[in-house]
Structures are given as C-alpha cells and as structure tokens.
A and B are shown apart, each in its own frame.
Chain A
Amino acid sequence: MANTPGTPEPISRLIEAFHKLPGIGPKSAQRLSYHVLRMPEEQALALATAIMDVKRRIVLCSVCMNITEADPCAYCQDSRRDRTLVCVVEEPLDIVAVERTGFRGMYHVLHGVLNPIDGIGPEEIRVRELLERLKAGEIREIIMATNQSLEGEATAMYIQRLAGPAGVRVTRLARGLPSGADLEYTDDVTLARAFEGRQEI
C-alpha cells in the first residue's frame, strides 16, 4: 500500500512507520503522513525530538520497572512510602490510577500480562524481576492489581503460586460491579463475585 507508484520515497517511509503503530490502518497512516508534510518545520522537528527523547531519556526503573527519567524512579526513591507493600500492575499508566486512591506503598510494573495463546509467557513480562525483589526479604505483601480479564487473573494466580513459598502474603483487589453498572447486563462471574464481596451498609 505504501509503495503507490509516484509516491516519493521519504513519504512512503513515513507511511510505513505510522502503519506499524497500534490501531493505525493504511488509510490513517497515509493521512498522518501528508499531515506531517504540511506541518510547519519547527512543529515537525518538535515531534521528531519528542520521539527521540522518549527513546534516549526514558529508561526502566531498575527496582520496579516503571518508566522513568531517573533510576531509581521517584516512587522507589521516596523514603516515606511503605516498602513492605508492593502493588503489581500491568502497565506504567496503571500507577497513576492507583496513586489516586491514596495508596502509598511500592509498585512493580509487569509490562503486560500472560497471554498463552499469543505466546506471552512469564519470561516475556517482568515476573523474574519481581521474584528477585521478594528474595531481598523486605516485602511482606504483594497486591495484585492486574485487570479482571482471563489474562489478568491468570497472571495474578501465576505470581501467587510463585510467591507463596517465599512466605509473602499475596492479595488481589476486591472484585465487584463497576459504578454505574446495570445488573441486568452484568455477567454471572462479576455478579457472583460482587455478591461474595458484599458489605454491610
């Protein structure tokens, strides 16, 4: 698709590059490329520099695997946080959501979840790094905050089985109905779990 006859080579290359991004089809890739072509030069340069900086200046925190400019990251350097408690999340962005709850423990970012059919096993995500942290002995509890999907649940159970023998308490977030959920449309598993987690009012 990119090599439409007559398309100058630099444009074809840009179309190709956009097409590799998630959720970008051939049409969108073409549209974005021609948009870049019409951009003022300084805007295009700013975009290019931002992309380069992300690659050159952002690293993974050697402790928690979060993305950071300084290693260890701000959370891992903060001495006021509870170091015995680690919240395990799928992606760096999940930390932002957990922070909003007021949680002030430590984090571990897996960078994905187990997805056996797609060939994503424990070696493809940051499980080994979590086990290394457990060996140091400071951590008393890990809170699994993976999604409530089949993959997220499998990941939580997998880590629980691995961490169990280390004497670490493994918990997971309570599962229930999302606010605004309509009982009529709620699936059986979600509803059954919400019942199990019911609370006095």
Chain B
Amino acid sequence: MAERPRTYKTEGVVLRRRNIGEADSIFTVFSEDQGKFDAVAKGVRKARSHMRGHLEPLTRSRFLIAQGSSLDVFTQAETITAYRGVREDLDRGAEAIYCAELVDRLTVERQEHRDVYELLLDELDALDAGCPLHVTRLFEVRLLAMLGFELQVDGCATCGSRLAEEDQLLAPAAGGLVCPSCRAGAGAGRRISPRAIKVLRFARDASMERFAGLRVDAGLGRELHLALADVIRAVLEREVNAGRFVEQVARLPASHSVTSRDVQ
C-alpha cells in the first residue's frame, strides 16, 4: 500500500460511532477513495464541538484527516448531505442503518470500492427522497455482487441448466437458485416464487430509479426480504444486528408526528 500523506482530504458516509473516554468518539466512515476506515474525533461530544453534527452517522461529509500513530484523527468535517428525510423517519432510518451495517460488515479496511460508495449514496438518496422501502433489496443484491458474492438467479447455480418458471429453491451455500436434480447437494434453502425471482433479476440489472418504481406488494416484499436475509446470513455467518431493528420498527403502529416542545 502506498504511503499515505500526513494529512489528507476525503469524502464519505459515516457508518457508525463508538464513544471513547469522556468526550471522544471513533467513527467508521465509508469513503469515496479509500473504502472503509476508522478515525477518532477528539472532544466531539462537547456541545460546542465544531464537528459534531457533521459526523453524525448516515451523514455524507467532506473530511480533513491527520494521520495518527495508531488511529487517524478528524481535524475538519463539513456536511455534503445530511439526509434529513432519512434521520427523521423511523422506517427510513432503520433501513439506512441496516445498509450501513451491511457495508461495515462486508467490506475490509482501506480498500477502495467506488462502486459500493456510489451504491450507498444511491440507497440513501432513494430513502431520503421517499422511495418505497424495497429499494433496499436492490442495495443488497448489488452490494453482494460488488463484493464477490453474486447471486446466481438465471440458471442453476450448480449445473447451469435452465430453470422452469415455477417455485425454485434458493440455496445460499450454492450461491443462488438450484435445479431439482442438484438440490440434494445444495444445502439448506428456501422456496422462492417466480415473481420474486423476476424481481431479483431486475434488482441485478435495473437502475435504482426504475427499481423504486416497481410495484411490490407486502407479501412479495416479505418474501424477498427473507430470501436475501438468508443469503446475507450465510455470507456473514452471523445475523445483521440492525435487521432485527428493521423488523421491530415494521411491527410498530403507524406514525404520527412528534410535537415539538419549547421549554420555558
């Protein structure tokens, strides 16, 4: 790896925060040109910190960073997009937090992945603009493909044979759909409908905008969500924490707005 300059500029999306000590926090950022990295912001939890709001998770910001001996240090941060529509809506916020966790868990430090960065911005833009929540399915399908886990949804993932237009088995260990004759060796799987298979193919090929325009009813949405959750669980060999939160939020009664209150 090339020697990094003593201070450098980059832009990225803040994925998560961990508080350390009295007033410092470590932020994990997914950046445009260096992929994922951690850096510390000193004193950022004090009310008057200049960087505080610019480093909130799910914010896209520009950073000036100084190389530290163990951990790099944020010296400046300036918001590019605050995604207020995401952070002020619980359903959208939960989806975005889930996507941030996926990027964090699936990528390695300091490995440039501009495609992943663009995809993350597309997802946040779509959620911020009020697109239907199924846009996260395109995010999952594309993210997996970009990181070397492309889902085989055309022919059989094992023998390549054509698949009839009927319910099929999606077997994460085999890397996608498997035909009836290959099922014995394909490991665990989930039955998936022809409708859902078509959406998975569309998610692989379509633009975010066109995918957002797709009509996905609750049943189909649930089927796709569970199918991709299986695949992601198999790739990560663990649950995605925020996935549980997305489900908890989905079970809540519908929203009405919180009244703001002035304290006299």
A interface, CB within 8 angstroms of B: 22-23, 101, 103, 114, 116-119, 121-122, 143-144, 149-150, 153-154, 156-158, 160-162, 164-165, 169-175, 178, 180-182, 185-190, 192, 196-197, 199
Contacts of B20 on A, CB cut-off 8 Å? 22-23
B interface, CB within 8 angstroms of A: 15-17, 20-22, 47-48, 50-54, 56-59, 79, 82, 84, 87-90, 93-94, 97-98, 100-101, 104, 241-242, 244-245, 248-249, 252-256, 258-263
> Nearest CB to that of B49 among chain A residues?
A185
> Nearest CB to that of A188 among chain B residues?
B82
**Knowing that A170-B259, A180-B48 are A-B contacts, what are 14 other residue pairs whose CB atoms are under 8 Å apart, sorted by A's residue number?**
A22-B20, A23-B20, A119-B241, A121-B248, A149-B56, A150-B93, A153-B87, A154-B93, A178-B48, A189-B53, A189-B82, A196-B260, A197-B260, A199-B262
Q: Count the A-B residue pairs with Cβ separation under 8 angstroms: how many? A: 122
Contacts of A174 on B, CB cut-off 8 Å? 260-263
Q: Give, as a whole number of angstroms, the nearest-CB distance from B104 to chain A.
A: 7
- Complex: A23 Cα to B183 Cα, angstroms: 52
- Complex: A116 Cα to B104 Cα, angstroms: 13
A157 x B48 contact (CB < 8 A): no
- Complex: A161 Cα to B87 Cα, angstroms: 15
- Complex: A190 Cα to B252 Cα, angstroms: 27
Contacts of A122 on B, CB cut-off 8 Å? 248
- Complex: A122 Cα to B57 Cα, angstroms: 19
Contacts of B54 on A, CB cut-off 8 Å? 187
- Assess A185 versus B244: contact at CB under 8 Å? Given A23-B20, A117-B16, A197-B260: no
Contacts of B259 on A, CB cut-off 8 Å? 169-172
B260 x A117 contact (CB < 8 A): no
> Nearest CB to that of A147 among chain B residues?
B45
Q: Name the one of A22, A117, A156, A169 contacting B242, with C-beta atoms under 8 angstroms.
A: A117
- Complex: A187 Cα to B62 Cα, angstroms: 12
Q: Give, as a whole number of angstroms, the nearest-CB distance from A32 to chain B.
A: 15
Q: Which 7 A-B pairs have the closest CB atoms?
A: A187-B53, A116-B245, A171-B261, A185-B50, A116-B242, A119-B241, A157-B90
- Assess A170 versus B258: contact at CB under 8 Å? Given A117-B100, A158-B252, A162-B253: yes
Contacts of A188 on B, CB cut-off 8 Å? 53, 79, 82, 84
Contacts of B258 on A, CB cut-off 8 Å? 144, 156-157, 160, 170-172
A117 x B101 contact (CB < 8 A): yes
- Complex: A101 Cα to B263 Cα, angstroms: 9
- Complex: A39 Cα to B48 Cα, angstroms: 38
- Complex: A190 Cα to B87 Cα, angstroms: 12
Contacts of B249 on A, CB cut-off 8 Å? 158, 161
What are 11 A-B contacts defined by CB distance under 8 Å?
A: A101-B263, A117-B101, A121-B244, A157-B90, A161-B254, A161-B255, A174-B261, A182-B50, A188-B82, A189-B53, A196-B260
- Complex: A173 Cα to B79 Cα, angstroms: 24
> Nearest CB to that of A199 among chain B residues?
B262
- Complex: A148 Cα to B65 Cα, angstroms: 25
- Complex: A171 Cα to B58 Cα, angstroms: 24
- Complex: A117 Cα to B57 Cα, angstroms: 11
Contacts of B57 on A, CB cut-off 8 Å? 150
B248 x A171 contact (CB < 8 A): no
> Nearest CB to that of B259 among chain A residues?
A171
- Complex: A117 Cα to B245 Cα, angstroms: 9
Contacts of B94 on A, CB cut-off 8 Å? 116, 154
A158 x B56 contact (CB < 8 A): no
B84 x A192 contact (CB < 8 A): yes
- Complex: A182 Cα to B48 Cα, angstroms: 8
> Nearest CB to that of A123 among chain B residues?
B248
- Complex: A22 Cα to B25 Cα, angstroms: 13
Q: Give, as a whole number of angstroms, the nearest-CB distance from B155 to chain A.
A: 36
> Nearest CB to that of B20 among chain A residues?
A23
Q: Which of A23, A121, A161, A197 gathers most chain B CB within 10 Å?
A: A161
Q: Name the one of A119, A144, A189 contacting B87, with C-beta atoms under 8 angstroms.
A: A189
Contacts of A164 on B, CB cut-off 8 Å? 253, 255-256
> Nearest CB to that of B76 among chain A residues?
A185
- Complex: A186 Cα to B259 Cα, angstroms: 24
Q: Name the one of B17, B87, B252, B261 contacting A143, with C-beta atoms under 8 angstroms.
A: B261
